[in-house]
Amino acid sequence: MEKKESRFGRRTIVFFWLALVALVIGVLLYTEQVAILYVLATLFLIALLLIVAFADLEHVDRENIERINS
């Protein structure tokens, strides 16, 4: 299977997402929509906890991590 060449690197995409999230939070704070921020923070925290809860960390070892990164 060939690797697909991306226009942007993985780190650049992460910085785009961080800038977008910071912009949304800034706009919500500026417009004093704190209630929406509370709801979004709660939903994202629940999603993060579900991801961690269902992660299969028992079968992760160093060889698998190195194989995925290369």
- Tens-place pLDDT, residues 6-38: 788 989 999 999 999 999 999 999 999 999 999
pLDDT band, residue 70 (cuts 50/70/90): low
Query: What tokens does 68 get?
Result: 């995925």
- The answer as to whether 15 is a domain residue is yes
Structure tokens at 51: 């991801």
Helix or strand holding residue 35 (H, E): helix 34-54
Residue 44 lies in a domain: yes
Look at residue 5 and tell me if it is in a domain.
Answer: no
- Residue 32, in any domain of the structure: yes
Q: Tell me which residue range forms the domain holding 46.
A: 10-69
Would you say residue 1 lies in a domain?
no
Q: Is 33 within 8 Å of 24 (Cβ atoms)?
A: no
Tally of structural domains, the chain:
1
Cα–Cα distance list, 33 to 9, 30, 36, 40, 67 (Å)? 34, 8, 6, 11, 45
Q: pTM here?
A: 0.62
